Amino acid sequence: MNAIGGRIRAALLAAWRGLVLSFTALAGSVTLFTVTLVSIALIPLGIGLVTTPYLVAAVRRHANQRRLLAITWSDVRIPVPYRPFPKDLRSGFTGSVERTTLLMKDPATWRDMRWMLVDMTAGAVVALLAAALMAYPVEGFVLAAGLWRVFRDDRYWYGFVPVDSQATGLMAAGLGLVLLVAGMALSRPLLRAHFVLARSVLAPTQEQELALRVDRLTETRHEAVDTAASELRRIERDLHDGAQARLVAMGMNLGAIEALVEKDPAQAKKLLAMARESSAEALTELRDLVRGIHPPVLAERGLGDAVRALALRLPLTTEVDVELAGRAEAPVESAAYFAVSEVLTNAAKHSGADRVWVDMHHAEGMLRISVTDNGRGGAEAGAGSGLSGIERRLGTFDGVMAVSSPAGGPTMVTMEIPCELS
């Protein structure tokens, strides 16, 4: 009985999501496609040089939102193949011209336009069908319950059944029951088919994906070298200003104790107490430093327990759901741990949330992590919130991150790292 109830709830949820997707496809894709196409057509007149970068950015946000829904609703991964802008782009009208030129040369821009055309047609039909198969049967049941009397003098068609009597009303209910059973079986596959259709249009070709991967790995390699150098400088600074200074002070105290141990035992005893406190503080700082480099719980217990331990120290109610059949390589675990740590820190400091959900699982060669909070939203990867640093950290392992954070919340950060579990 519980299994049947679970299937009904899952089918109803898929139907509701299909309805949302069909509305988004018809309203969002139609509007953005039309306005962006007009802006591109106005590029020769100069107007499109100013408007196109903003509209293409809106199109990419729209496509990225669909990518996020694909992975969270149907576990369909759609790559994010956009070429990054150079860091030395100029501002003003000249910068708009450069951005427009780069966007027009990016094949992903035209894939997005082609996807919106498919999304507003076939994509909307598939998504709407997932909802209709669960909603349309209700009409058959209502007709059988007595609504047929309203149409007694004027034949009413429910599907292929002409309804004008109680008998035909019961036939409509039978047809509705068949459609309801079909909807329970097909609503989730149809929802997934919508996202698979989007992936077939949005995903780059194998050659384009390899070229993008080479460019991305080249960029992230340089960033990884810079990050490692800055991390070494931080460790050196922390050792010099923290543990090293306390050890030097402890050595001086021990020298003074050696000179006073016979002349002034009481003062020597005080200095010994100070030396003991300094050694304890130095040990604490060294442990904190080591934990910042590679937490012991991560090495001993793995990523799942390390994130659970991290959640216990968070001043928010945090639920952690982990489904990992093994362990990833140590560098991947470390990158995933510190990425989750950064997202949780951002949620605690900036989101205004009181509850956070962390979900980690491994499927199809991907470590997938999602962190969701019920805060105020408005987080952006390029807004200096630390999310851009997470992108660079994950990019070192060819990983990706997607952020969904509408105003008013909730905020969902989804991360993926290709890896195998031992």
The Cβ-side half-sphere exposure at 112, using a 13 Å CA radius, reads 30
Name residue 353's amino acid.
A
Q: How far apart are CA 338 and CA 344, in angstroms?
A: 10
Amino acid, res. 30: V
Angle between helices 387-395 and 206-238 (to 10 degrees): 110
Residue 3's pLDDT is 66
Distance in Å from the first CA to the final CA of the chain: 38
| In the predicted structure, residue 383 carries a pLDDT above the cut 60 | no
Contact 379, 346 (CB under 8 A): yes
Mean pLDDT in the chain? 79
The pLDDT of residue 258 is above 60: yes
Chain segment 291-310, per-residue pLDDT in tens: 555 667 777 888 888 888 88
**In 132-243, at which residue ranges do the beta strands (DSSP E only) sit?**
156-158, 161-163
Query: Could you read off the pLDDT of 1-50 as tens digits, one per residue?
Result: 566 667 778 888 888 888 999 998 888 899 999 999 999 999 888 888 88
Digit-coded pLDDT (tens) for 169-197: 788 778 878 877 787 888 889 999 999 99
Tens digits of residue pLDDT in 79-135 = 877 877 777 677 777 878 888 888 898 888 999 999 999 999 999 999 988 888 887
Phi (first) and psi of residue 317, to 5 degrees: -70, 120
The reported pLDDT for the residue numbered 386 is 66
Per the CB < 8 A criterion, the answer to whether 316 and 358 are in contact is no
Letter string b/e over residues 107-116, b meaning 16 or more CB atoms within 10 A of that residue's CB: ebbebbbebb
CA dist 243 and 228 (Å) reads 21
Task: Using DSSP, state whether 382 is helix, strand or coil.
Answer: coil
Q: Report percent pLDDT > 70 for the chain.
A: 80
Structure confidence at residue 230 as a pLDDT band (50, 70, 90):
low
Stronger pLDDT, 223 or 51, i.e. the higher one = 51
Mean pLDDT for 221-234 is: 60
Average pLDDT estimate for 369-395: 75
**Two tokens, residue 404:** 């969904």
pLDDT digits over 119-166, tens only? 999 999 999 888 888 877 777 777 777 766 666 556 677 777 777 777
**Structure confidence at residue 151 (pLDDT):** 62
Q: Go through 253-274 and write b for each residue having 16 or more CB atoms within 10 A of its CB, e for each that does not.
A: beebbeebeeeeeeebeebeee
* Nearest Cα to Cα of residue 240 among 280, 279, 289, 277: 289
> Is residue 222's pLDDT more than 70?
no
Q: Which two tokens stand for residue 127?
A: 């998504």
Lowest-confidence segment of 51-65, 113-127, 248-262, 403-417 by average pLDDT:
248-262
One-letter identity of residue 80 = V
